[in-house]
Structure 1
Amino acid sequence: MTSYSISPQPGPSQETARTSHVALTPSPTDADTDDANRQAMGLAFEHAPFGVVVIGSKTRHIKIANRFARELYHLCTSLPAASLTGKQVDDLLPWMESDEILTQLSQVAETGVPVLSRFMDLPSDPGEHVGTHWGYDMVRLKTAAGHAYDLLVTFRDYTPVLQERKRAQAATFAALQRTELLESIFEQIAEAVVVRDRDGKLIVYNREALTLAHNQTVVERGRAHGERVDPDWDVVDADGKSLAKLDLPIWRAMFSGKSMLTDQLRVRKENGTLTPLLIHATPLRDEVGDIIGAVAAFQDISVVKEEERLKDEMTTVASHELRQPITVIQGHAQRLKRQLRQLTEQEHVLINPASLRKLADGMESQTARLNRLVSDLLDLSRMQSGHLQLNPESMSLTRLLERLVELQREASADHQFFIEDKVPPEHGELVGIWDEGRIEQILTNLLQNAVKYSPAGGEIRVTLDVIPRGTRVGSQARGRKRLTSDSAHVAITDEGIGIPPGAMVHLFERFYRAPNSGDIQGTGLGLYICQQLAAAHRGYLWAESRGLGHGSTFHLAVPL
């Protein structure tokens, strides 16, 4: 057997670097060294972790194949591994021509230009022990005679590399999807969230956090121009004093290593308003427990604080409104007891019936006042809990209004009542499906307010008509709405103290009383309850006034 050494050689005529050969020439060494080299070279060739074959360029048959190549041949064909040597390449793997591999063999044999780092996929599944993605190289060999050329082909299974690459790509894609999902969730969290590293550098914040920053516009303008401008939050204490950086909950959590929770702080927004916050800050730790930063969540608790304020106000109002009638009833009861004691202890004591009637009337009036207050508080509780129920039935709004006006006329002799029916003749008597008790409650409240806030002798005009569908109703201060159906309309106009322009937007809020109401009794619940009752009927309640001292008009519209 001829001994070969492998070394690059210049191509014919020494003309170009692109033509390369590998010369297999006998090594002129002494016998021992020569044998040792041949043995080492043979072992390396035979046990290489990739396939190596030598193909005759003229006959295109496989002259030499190492163990890797032989075993691969056996796995692919189930033929004996040793039978690979001597096989004709064209007959052995005819499908390779579809990948131009046979053509490449011819080109390398003719030109000497190697084919390096090419890849191919096997045309069908070769079995679980054979990869499907291979890389190969083709190099022309030159014998010592310098005439006969053989081709050296090496090939390696890149399937594990490709599979690992695909797994890495799939993992990267999955991680990207998770990141995008987390970013989407982070952006849509209702609470503001801010994260800082251990040096205090702002790492990330969400959209809600930006709305609380006092430099929101500057940050958004910077974003629009591709610039990074960090938002800043002006957190203040109960007295409105800005907190120092180290006093902020996120910094305190970072330095103390403990979570912080407080609802006593507020943030000053860009428009100058102060928003009460529930702030929860907690340190961030790495896998060994070292603090690497902190996260803070800000929750706007304006609604909670407003509810607390309203509860306190309700308690104050209820206490005050309950105390007054109770005091009156108690005083009348004590006077009545004194007169009864005189009647039983002394002879010939004359009891003035008018005095007794006055005491009884006073007690009855204050009892009615207590009853109204309790009813208002119960209605308020039902509305807040969503348990307000209506009992709609067919009723005549015309008759109800006439009856209520007549009752008020009898009870308020100092005022002049006028009722005007402007309902078109084709409608006749206004009849609809409403809760008569609740409609009566609304109209009674409006009529009593007209009396209460009007001077003695003042005129109170009540108008009944129909507003067609599509008409816009409501006050400018609270926004006008378009009616979706024909509606019965009641307007009650007085000549009273009027409504200040600034009070119109708050008029139907719980416990609100206009600043010009003075010492006139009231809880601030009546109009709120009336509006809720109107809304429960899919109707509207609104007010108009030309200003202080020019009276007001309250409107009720409920769908027919």
Structure 2
Amino acid sequence: MSETTPPTDHSEELLRKIQEYNSQLEQRIQEHVEELREEVLIRKRSEQALRESQRRFQTLVEKIPEVIFQLDIDLRVRYLNGAWSVITGVQSSEVLSEPFAGLFIEQTATELQRKLVDLVNGNTESVSLEGRYLRPDGTEIWLDIYADSERDTDGSINGVFGMAYNITRRKLAEDDMKRALVKEKELNRLRSQFISMTSHEFRTPLASILTSSELLEHYSERWPREKNMMHLKRIQSSVQHIVRLMDDVLILGKSDADRLVPEPVPVNVNQLVASLIDEHTMGHKATQHIAFTNDMECDSALLDPKLFRQIFGNIFSNALKYSPPDSTITVSLAGDCALLRLSVNDEGIGIPPADLAQLYEPFYRARNAGDVPGTGLGMSIVKRSVEAHGGTIHVSSSEGQGTRVHIILDLTRNHSQTPQTPAS
């Protein structure tokens, strides 16, 4: 049996090369593993940085005071930031997947939906709209809405991105400015009417005063006493007319400045009304029949006699001026120490229905007033004086048949005052 042959040099070389290749392979595998490990670390860092960036962006978006929204291609809510909840009072989660336009008041919803449809259909590049939204608490807010289309990488539209700004304060300021402008125009109109009215209303009594005074200056010594007295009374009547006109203007001024405050004292209303009836019937040389009834349950009532003179005087004067001769004017008092009811009914020309709504506007006169003297201030003063007493006024009228004015005054507002001697 022969002995084993020792390994040849060739075998040893082959083994050495195999070991060398194996070592290189292990080194390469280790290097590749290190590369993979580094790549994984880099990717993790990138993902973490991306998540951090997204978190910061999300935080920033949520803290922006303006509404940011995303809609899908069907215009339903995909995303709303936190500003939506703050501004509208509705949680964003409650309206996800809801039609965005349908969240607004009907008129806004219709217009917004039309514009958004044009946007996703590619008919326009962007849309803007000032719209109204009704909060759960019933308050109405204004939002300025801007929106653009969102597109895929191939350019096709896949939704809508937009913002909405709360412009309620601005709209309220605009409304205030509009109201102020309207009020300024109204004041200018009233100022012009006032100048026109006063120039006319003052001219007549002043001319009468001037004429009578000049006549008295030249002829008083030659005229009989009766004729002198006639001109003196004419002067007195003209002065009283001017005083009443100035009183009217002063009451309107106080009312406009919120300074029309009654000064109530105990008043014998029956005596006051009776004296005012006599005063006005004589002043107007009235030929109507006056029927006065008093059903008051107490002798005196707490009210402002000056304002009550304005109330009754203007109403009763109108009844005299616009009623034909021999017609009947009915004046009735009723009530107790808490409420006073006053009614004046006439059989005059009445008030056209179209004029009733403007009856209390300063300087307004019904279209059928004709040439009957008047300033158009009377009923405005009556209403303001009645409301200053905490009362109400109601006027009903039929053109050509007559007018009824019914007033209720609240006498309890000043019962804390100690009754004094009744005024008449």
Q: CA deviation at 1:366?
A: 1.0
CA distance in 2, matches of 1:29, 1:229: 72
Distance change (3 Å), C-alpha of 1:28 and 1:520: farther
Structure 2: where are the runs of 5+ without partners? 1-16, 69-80, 89-103, 118-169, 412-424
CA distance in 1, matches of 2:57, 2:396: 70
TM-score of the pair, normalised by structure 1:
0.47
CA distance in 1, matches of 2:381, 2:326: 28
Q: CA deviation at 1:409?
A: 4.5
Q: CA deviation at 1:43?
A: 7.1
Alignment correspondent of 1:450: 319
Where is the helix percentage greater, Structure 1 or Structure 2? 2
Alignment correspondent of 1:355: 227
Task: Find out whether 1:509 has 2:361 as its counterpart.
Answer: yes
Q: CA deviation at 1:38?
A: 7.8
Alignment correspondent of 2:406: 555
Aligned-partner residue type, residue 194 of structure 2: M
Residues 307-346 of structure 1 mapped to structure 2, 5 A cutoff: 307-339=187-219, 343=221
Alignment correspondent of 2:348: 496
Aligned-partner residue type, residue 201 of structure 2: E
SS of residue paired to 2:196: helix
Offset from partner CA, 1:255-275 (integer Å, 9 cap, x none) = xxxxxxxxxxxxxxxxxxxxx
Contact 2:64-2:83 at 8 Å conserved across structures: no
Task: Find out whether 1:521 has 2:373 as its counterpart.
Answer: yes
CA distance in 2, matches of 1:455, 1:368: 25
Contact 2:390-2:409 at 8 Å conserved across structures: yes
Aligned-partner residue type, residue 516 of structure 1: N
Distance change (3 Å), C-alpha of 1:162 and 1:38: closer
Which of 286, 289, 299 is matched with 1:416 structurally? 289
Distance change (3 Å), C-alpha of 1:304 and 1:421: same
Task: Find out whether 1:532 has 2:419 as its counterpart.
Answer: no
Alignment correspondent of 1:400: 272
Q: CA deviation at 1:352?
A: 2.2
Alignment correspondent of 2:58: 169
Q: CA deviation at 1:361?
A: 1.1
Alignment correspondent of 1:251: none
SS of residue paired to 1:418: strand
Alignment correspondent of 1:304: 184
SS of residue paired to 1:515: coil
Please identify the structure whose Cα radius of gyration is greater. 1
Distance change (3 Å), C-alpha of 1:303 and 1:416: same
Q: Where does structure 1 differ by over 6 angstroms across 4 or more consecutive aligned residues?
A: 26-36, 45-49, 180-187
Contact 1:382-1:388 at 8 Å conserved across structures: yes
Q: CA deviation at 1:517?
A: 1.3
Q: How many residues align?
A: 311
Residues 69-468 of structure 1 mapped to structure 2, 5 A cutoff: 160-175=49-64, 177-178=66-67, 222-223=110-111, 226-228=113-115, 300=178, 301-339=181-219, 343=221, 350-411=222-283, 412=285, 414-423=287-296, 428-429=297-298, 431-466=300-335
CA distance in 2, matches of 1:181, 1:519: 68
Aligned-partner residue type, residue 171 of structure 1: L
Q: CA deviation at 1:529?
A: 0.8
Structure 1: where are the runs of 5+ without partners? 1-25, 52-134, 136-154, 188-206, 211-216, 231-295, 344-349, 468-484
Aligned-partner residue type, residue 558 of structure 1: L
Q: CA deviation at 1:353?
A: 1.8
Distance change (3 Å), C-alpha of 1:382 and 1:177: same
Aligned-partner residue type, residue 383 of structure 2: Q
Alignment correspondent of 2:41: 50
Offset from partner CA, 1:187-206 (integer Å, 9 cap, x none) = 9xxxxxxxxxxxxxxxxxxx
CA distance in 2, matches of 1:323, 1:384: 26
Distance change (3 Å), C-alpha of 1:499 and 1:35: closer
Contact 1:409-1:416 at 8 Å conserved across structures: no
CA distance in 1, matches of 2:269, 2:111: 60
Aligned-partner residue type, residue 394 of structure 2: W
Q: CA deviation at 1:41?
A: 5.3
Distance change (3 Å), C-alpha of 1:42 and 1:459: closer
Alignment correspondent of 1:124: none
Q: CA deviation at 1:541?
A: 1.8
SS of residue paired to 2:64: helix
Alignment correspondent of 1:544: 396
Contact 1:398-1:429 at 8 Å conserved across structures: no
CA distance in 1, matches of 2:223, 2:83: 85
SS of residue paired to 2:357: helix
Aligned-pair RMSD on alpha carbons? 4.2
SS of residue paired to 1:227: helix
Where is the strand percentage greater, Structure 1 or Structure 2? 1
CA distance in 1, matches of 2:386, 2:18: 110
CA distance in 2, matches of 1:329, 1:434: 35
Aligned-partner residue type, residue 349 of structure 2: I
Q: CA deviation at 1:185?
A: 12
Distance change (3 Å), C-alpha of 1:404 and 1:222: same
Contact 2:63-2:83 at 8 Å conserved across structures: no
